[in-house]
């Protein structure tokens, strides 16, 4: 899996002075565009489009300092339609405009070229199971909040605090543990809108339950998300919340997917969190939508 991904990185380097099509990168990496964006973001810690932008501006910075081309030529060469657009992007990355950088020989920032390799540590194992699920509903309250990778998400915290006790009780009552429908009780469901999952981009957060009740029987004042039948990889861990959960999510995409015959499919990610048996930290169960690769 990593060799095709590195071949895609080689393709980026060979085409920094022309448009880079994500569809072509996905073809080289032997995966879908959606999964390539998600996998790259998880592995590299930066969205694919942002990495390409930084690499172009790194090369452009070297050309600005070299002084062999005009600034407009450099702008056009790297895909900018005007000198002004190039200057804004250049300043955003390097902290100085291209003209000033050329005049003063300023110190510029650089995005190193990335490649990926497998590091086998063997220090931990991941607990997971594969679950086939029929169509179901996620029902509760929803809010659009920014994606936060580390620490508490203020938007989510504010949203949950705004749900009154009576409404929370009505939502919880829609979960029927006797039917064996997992995950039971109050859960979180997130639907991301940016395929690269850049921090700060919007996602829909549901504080809800899962149910197989028909849509027409659900309370009209609650928000409902219809989830088609599909396959889910279910992961569990215990630790400090939310740090342990955020690390679990990263491990799923950087360790589990590259070494298992599954790929991510679009869909909501479900999370059930409860207190750890010893009262220290929390037990998290993370449901990731997947499909067979190949």
Q: What is the pLDDT of residues 32-42, one digit of tens each?
A: 888 888 878 87
What's the rounded mean pLDDT across residues 135-149? 91
What's the rounded mean pLDDT across residues 130-149? 90
Task: Classify residue 203: in a domain, yes or no.
Answer: yes
Task: Classify residue 132: in a domain, yes or no.
Answer: yes
Do residue 185 and residue 253 come from a single domain?
yes
Choosing from 104, 138, 160, the residue where a domain stops is 104
Task: Classify residue 225: in a domain, yes or no.
Answer: yes
Do residue 95 and residue 131 come from a single domain?
no
Do residue 88 and residue 183 come from a single domain?
no
Rounded Cα distance between 175 and 272, Å, is: 13
Do residue 91 and residue 162 come from a single domain?
no
pLDDT of residue 123: 42
Rounded Cα distance between 39 and 30, Å, is: 12
Cα separations in angstroms, 232 against 78, 204, 292:
41, 19, 11
Judge whether residue 81 has pLDDT over 80: yes
Task: Classify residue 187: in a domain, yes or no.
Answer: yes
Do residue 100 and residue 131 come from a single domain?
no
Question: Which residues span the domain enclosing 234?
Answer: 127-292
Task: Classify residue 173: in a domain, yes or no.
Answer: yes
CATH of the domain at 61: 1.10.10.60
Choosing from 52, 70, 104, the residue where a domain stops is 104
DSSP at 114: P
Cα separations in angstroms, 240 against 67, 142, 156, 274, 284:
53, 25, 18, 11, 10
- Phi, psi torsion values for 275, nearest 5 degrees: -70, 140
Do residue 287 and residue 238 come from a single domain?
yes
pLDDT of residue 118: 54
Do residue 62 and residue 172 come from a single domain?
no
Do residue 61 and residue 150 come from a single domain?
no
Rounded Cα distance between 119 and 177, Å, is: 41
Read off the pLDDT band of 107 (50, 70, 90).
confident
Read off the pLDDT band of 121 (50, 70, 90).
very low
CATH of the domain at 139: 3.20.80.10
Judge whether residue 149 has pLDDT over 60: yes
Who's near 157: CB < 8 A, 6+ residues apart? none
pLDDT of residue 120: 45
Do residue 250 and residue 156 come from a single domain?
yes
| Sign, Cα dihedral of 163, 166, 172, 174 | negative
CA dihedral 147, 181, 261, 256 (to 10 degrees): 50
Task: Classify residue 212: in a domain, yes or no.
Answer: yes
Residue 151 gets the label, from left (phi > 0), alpha (psi -120 to 50) or beta, of: left
Domain count within the chain: 2
- Determine the length of the chain: 294
Read off the pLDDT band of 117 (50, 70, 90).
low
Do residue 76 and residue 140 come from a single domain?
no
What's the rounded mean pLDDT across residues 241-251? 76
Do residue 145 and residue 284 come from a single domain?
yes
Do residue 141 and residue 178 come from a single domain?
yes
Task: Classify residue 117: in a domain, yes or no.
Answer: no
Task: Classify residue 111: in a domain, yes or no.
Answer: no
């Amino acid at each position: 899996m990593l060799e095709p991904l590195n071949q895609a990185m080689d393709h980026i380097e060979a085409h920094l002075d022309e448009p880079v099509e994500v569809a072509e990168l996905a073809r080289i990496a032997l995966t879908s565009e959606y999964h390539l964006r998600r996998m790259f973001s998880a592995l590299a810690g930066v969205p694919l489009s942002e990495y390409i932008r930084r690499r172009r501006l790194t090369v452009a910075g070297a050309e600005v300092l070299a002084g062999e081309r005009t600034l407009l030529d450099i702008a056009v060469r790297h895909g900018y339609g005007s000198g002004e657009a190039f200057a804004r992007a250049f300043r955003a990355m390097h902290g100085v405009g291209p003209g000033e950088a050329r005049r003063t020989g300023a110190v510029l920032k650089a995005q190193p070229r990335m490649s990926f390799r497998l590091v086998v540590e063997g220090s931990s194992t991941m607990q997971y199971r594969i679950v086939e699920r029929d169509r179901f509903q996620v029902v509760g309250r929803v809010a659009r909040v920014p994606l936060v990778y580390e620490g508490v998400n203020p938007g989510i915290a504010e949203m949950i605090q705004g749900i009154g006790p009576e409404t929370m009780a009505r939502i919880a009552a829609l979960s029927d543990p006797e039917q064996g429908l997992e995950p039971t009780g109050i859960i979180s469901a997130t639907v991301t809108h940016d395929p690269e999952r850049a921090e700060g981009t919007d996602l829909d957060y549901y504080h809800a339950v899962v149910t197989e009740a028909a849509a027409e029987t659900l309370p009209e004042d609650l928000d409902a998300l219809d989830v088609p039948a599909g396959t889910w990889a279910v992961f569990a861990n215990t630790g400090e919340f939310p740090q342990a959960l955020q690390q679990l999510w990263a491990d799923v995409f950087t360790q589990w997917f590259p070494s298992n015959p599954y790929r991510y499919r679009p869909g909501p990610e479900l999370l059930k969190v409860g207190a750890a048996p010893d009262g220290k930290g929390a037990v998290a169960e993370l449901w990731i939508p997947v499909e067979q690769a190949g």
